[in-house]
């Protein structure tokens, strides 16, 4: 089996990375940064986001596992004290794979045939470059509302505990193949009106944002922020691709939620 390790880059994570690499090589596993069967991310959830984007072209051939060197993570659920156990599990056990849904984002541009396609593990956010974001929100081709406010966050179930949660969105179990739309400070008065509640859409429903005036937007996909000019529409739906996690033991999602946000 071929493996790769990504590190957050701090001293502790780098040291753990070296240790795991040596142990796994001792078990006759092959280190291959380009075509790994398993990617071990050492750091936090942010580190796993980087690893996901680095290997997004081979999601069907790669499984991820996360070791956290800070506080408990949602994607990184092994602690440094357990790495010997994890290495033995990787080297010796045929592991179970758990798949989580991803978000597909397609940005189309005015007077152009090109389009940009992204996959998000956590979410995509859309904000204006200046002033309020004003966009029509369509669901399944029908106008749902005209949004005015700071921005919109469209998240995956596993990203629901990240930015979405700060916006008052619901925490969704990653076995649900859905996307969630959450508002950032919408303007609601006698002139402007939005639904005000987060929306959860099933996998066969497409959500589309269309500009009203401004056509330049600041769009984030997980940790990446890009300025997109001359935007005609931004389309969101549950992606056909999934992220695959190598699972060596049970660590139920609701327990991770409780340990992270309620108490441990
Ligand atoms: P960052 O600003 O350095 O860290 C964002 C925080 O979100 C970190 O504590 C990270 O955990 C945590 N996180 C990431 N994914 C998570 C998940 N699925 N569930 C729970 N917590 C999660 O940025 P970054 O490390 O590059 O991560 C980018 C992410 O930051 C974005 O995808 C977005 O979700 C989040 N973000 C949140 C807000 C907000 O809540 N107001 C604003 C901007 C961005 P670790 O410490 O383990 O890495």
Nearest to 54 by CA among 104, 100, 119: 119
Do 107 and 236 lie in a common domain?
A: yes
Whether 191 and 84 map to the same domain: the answer is: no
Q: Let me know whether 91 and 185 are in one domain.
A: no
- Average pLDDT of 30-54? 97
CA distance 186 to 126: 13
32 marked ligand binding residue: no
Do 60 and 118 lie in one domain? The reply is: no
Can you give the pLDDT at residue 2?
97
The verdict on 87 and 181 lying in the same domain is: no
Question: Do 113 and 83 belong to one domain?
Answer: no
Distance CA 53, CA 142 (A): 32
Spacing, Cα 258 to ligand 1 middle (Å): 17
Pair of tokens at residue 212: 């009203």
Q: What is the structure's pLDDT at 164?
A: 98
Catalytic positions = 45
Phi-psi region of 209 (alpha: psi -120 to 50; beta: other; left: phi over 0): beta
With b meaning 16 or more CB within 10 Å and e meaning fewer, what string describes 180-209?
bbbbbebbeeeeeebeeebbbbeeebbbbb
> What's the whole-model pTM score?
0.97
Do residues 139 and 38 share a domain?
Answer: no
Q: Smallest Cα–Cα separation from 137: which of 98, 174, 192?
A: 192
CATH number at residue 68: 3.40.50.10330
> Looking at the predicted structure, is the pLDDT value of residue 176 above 90?
yes
DSSP 153: E
84 and 110 in a single domain? The answer is no
Q: Evaluate the CA torsion angle 223, 34, 174, 79 in order and state its sign.
A: negative
Question: Which residue has its alpha carbon closest to ligand 1 atom 47?
Answer: 44
Report residue 90's pLDDT band, with 50, 70 and 90 as the boundaries. Answer: very high
The pair of structure tokens assigned to 217 is 């937007």
The CA dihedral of 24, 29, 30, 34, to the nearest 10 degrees, is: -80
User: Other C-beta atoms within 10 Å of 82: how many?
Assistant: 14
Residues 180 and 116 in one domain: yes
In the prediction, which pLDDT does 72 show? 78
92 is in an annotated binding site: no
Ligand 1 binding site (Cβ under 6 Å of any ligand atom): 44-46, 49, 70, 73-74, 122-123, 158-159, 161-163, 166, 222-223
The boundaries of the domain holding residue 254 are: 2-95+248-262
pLDDT the model gives residue 40: 98
- Residue 161 CA to ligand 1 center (angstroms) comes to 9
d(CA 33, CA 5): 8
Residues 84 and 155 in one domain: no
Would you report the helix, strand and coil content of the chain in percent, each value rounded to 5?
25, 45, 35
Q: How many domains does the chain have?
A: 2
Which pLDDT value is given to residue 235?
Answer: 98
The strand pair at 38-43 and 2-7 is best described as parallel
Give me the phi and psi of 196, to 5 degrees please: 85, -15
d(CA 169, CA 183): 9
Q: Residues 10, 89: one domain?
A: yes
Q: Which residue among 46, 121, 220 has the greatest number of ligand 1 atoms within 8 angstroms of its CB, and so is best to mutate?
A: 46
Q: How remote is the CA of residue 69 from the centroid of ligand 1, in Å?
A: 15
Lowest mean pLDDT, pick from 88-102, 144-158, 160-174: 88-102
HEC states along 122-136? CEEEEEECCCCEEEE
Q: What does the alpha-carbon distance between residue 252 and residue 264 come to, in Å, rounded to a whole number?
A: 14
Q: State the sign of the Cα–Cα–Cα–Cα dihedral 119, 162, 139, 101.
A: positive
């Amino acid at each position: 089996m071929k493996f790769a390790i990504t590190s957050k880059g701090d001293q502790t994570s780098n040291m753990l990375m070296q240790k795991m690499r040596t142990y796994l090589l001792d078990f006759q596993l092959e280190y291959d940064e380009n075509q790994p069967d398993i990617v071990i991310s050492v750091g936090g959830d942010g580190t796993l986001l980087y690893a996901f984007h680095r290997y997004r072209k081979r999601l069907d051939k790669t499984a991820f596992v996360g070791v956290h060197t800070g506080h408990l993570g949602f994607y990184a659920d092994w602690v440094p004290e357990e790495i010997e156990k994890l290495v033995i599990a990787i080297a010796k056990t045929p592991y179970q794979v758990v798949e989580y849904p991803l978000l597909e984002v397609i940005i189309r541009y005015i007077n152009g045939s090109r389009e940009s396609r992204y996959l998000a593990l956590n979410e995509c956010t859309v904000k204006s470059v200046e002033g309020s974001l004003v966009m029509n929100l369509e669901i399944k081709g029908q106008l749902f509302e005209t949004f005015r406010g700071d921005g919109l966050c469209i998240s995956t179930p596993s990203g629901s505990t990240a930015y979405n949660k700060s916006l008052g969105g619901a925490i969704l179990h990653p076995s649900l193949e859905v996307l969630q739309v959450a508002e950032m400070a919408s303007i609601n008065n006698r002139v402007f009106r939005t639904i005000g509640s987060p929306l959860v859409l099933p996998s066969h429903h497409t959500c589309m944002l269309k500009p009203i005036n401004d056509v330049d937007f600041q769009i984030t996909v997980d940790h990446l922020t890009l300025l997109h000019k001359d935007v005609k529409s931004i389309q969101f739906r549950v992606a056909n691709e999934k992220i695959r996690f190598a699972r060596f033991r049970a660590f139920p999602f609701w327990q991770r939620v409780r340990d992270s946000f309620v108490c441990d």
